[in-house]
Chains A and B, each alone.
Chain A
Amino acid sequence: MAKLAEEGNADMTKTGELLLKVQGVHKTFGDRQVLKGIDLQVERGEVIVILGPSGCGKSTLLRCLNGLEPVQGGHILYRGQDLAGGDVNWRELRQHIGMVFQNYELFPHMTVLENILLGPLKVQRRERAEAQQQAQELLGRVGLADRAGDYPRQLSGGQKQRIAIVRALCMNPDIILFDEVTASLDPEMVREVLDVILGLAKQGMTMIIVTHEMGFAKSVGDRIVFMDQGTVCEVAPPEQFFTSPATERAQHFLNIFEYNKL
């Protein structure tokens, strides 16, 4: 299986700058192995969609890439620097590796604008005027230009999640990790959030997206990474993955989704 994953990666690395290279990453909680040797490569401008059954380790993988969980083995090379080692400046790195969570975790005591500007002003120490201009422009792009002064409680779930994306974007990251960002939304709000991410893909943003929205996965992904039980089972372009998945486990996974649609 791991062999297959490697081959899947191999023919994709011919062009572009290699941004992230995950090699044999292991993660355990106590004596429970949750990631059992993950390999993954991401080029600049690429959109990777991670699919897999619940509990297979998708969130854990993203959290390892963002330093929220330490890993117990393997390498995470970000532009050549190993993030799996001991002394990594995660404060610095997280400015380049953004993350958006499932539960639109905006800071409830701050306005939309304050939420967005906290990182640029306090972490990146940028000029307020310049950062604010970028924030306003990004808010405009996600259709929320008039909500800068609102508090999160005044917004719908879909709006909050779009703000959370803007908050990540305003740090000018190299890559953004999305962990099931539409999973807690009411169905009618899913689309507005996915559209924003599709827009980012068109602009060439590098992203790793964990989602259960199959149609979205198909249209946004350059490559589908299918995980099961802590391993990468299959890496393939979307057309191939959705029409003729190579592994039995992926077939089984897709079948379940077919049933869900009925």
Chain B
Amino acid sequence: MNLDWEFIMESLPLYGDAMWLTVKLALIAIVLSLVLGLVFSLVLFYKVKGLRSIILAYIELSRNTPLLVQLFFLYYGLPKVGIHMSEFQCAVAGMTFLGGSYMTEAFRSGIEAVGRTQLESGLSIGLSRVQLARYVILPQALAISIPSLGANAIFLLKETSIVGAIALMDLMNVAKDLIGMHYKTAESLLLLVLAYLILVLPLSLLLTWVERKVRHAEFGN
């Protein structure tokens, strides 16, 4: 197969811009999801009255509706009730709505894996609930949660491929446009795959490395 190298070179800046958009979007969404997940999992752990059932309902809603539907709701639905957001803001909000529930579950399973007796021995030396979370629960829970937190981060990064649906010029949209305008299907798809590999692969490798580190420092009482 002969590739049109000139076309590829000319398209690179477009892909570069789209990659940058993807990175920004994924990074913000991942960080916000982590924050949401941490806070929500602690609320669930401490069984904060009222908030608990709201969060459980949110998790169900978030996990059982497609991201595409969530994005459409934010992009086309909210303006009808007077809430206007840019495409990028919508994408961040949608991805965080999705990621928050996955991260909550990841943190929660880590927290639940820390034994009840660990909590009681923390309490028995007079730790407050906040100190208990900070010094006893979270350090152990994080080590347990890291693999699933990382898997969620990669999942979110890949999910960015859907934000083209609300007119953001992400990688998918760039490729689609190029194919539509120039009929250079092979070149455009090749660049698309490469772009995602360049984004996802380092993150995957980093995660594998961190996992190995964590397992190396495995506590085990």
Contact = CB atoms under 8 A, between A and B. Distances in A.
Given A108-B221, A118-B135, A123 B127 contact: yes
A32 interface: no
Contact of B127 (A98, A122, A151): A122
By size class, the interface of chain A is: 20 to 34
B139 A98 contact: no
A66 B127 contact: no
Interface stretch (A6-14, A87-95, A191-199): A87-95
B121 interface: yes
Nearest to A153: B220
Interface in A79-110: 90-92, 94-95, 98-99, 101, 103-109
Nearest to B120: A68
Interface string B112-140: 00010110111111111001000110011
A152 interface: yes
B186 to A, nearest CB: 52
A124 B126 CA distance: 9
B126 A123 contact: yes
Contact of B117 (A66, A105, A123, A153): A105
Q: Bin the interface of chain B by size.
A: 20 to 34
Contact of B124 (A99, A104, A153, A160): A99
Given A109-B139, A109-B219, A91 B128 contact: yes
Contact of B140 (A67, A108, A123, A167): A108
A103 B117 contact: yes
B124 A68 contact: yes
Interface of B: 115, 117-118, 120-128, 131, 135-136, 139-140, 143, 219-221
17 contacts: A68-B124, A91-B126, A94-B125, A98-B124, A98-B125, A101-B124, A105-B120, A105-B221, A106-B221, A107-B135, A107-B140, A109-B139, A109-B143, A123-B128, A152-B221, A164-B121, A171-B125
Given A107-B118, A108-B220, A118-B127, 5 more contacts: A68-B123, A95-B125, A107-B135, A160-B221, A171-B125
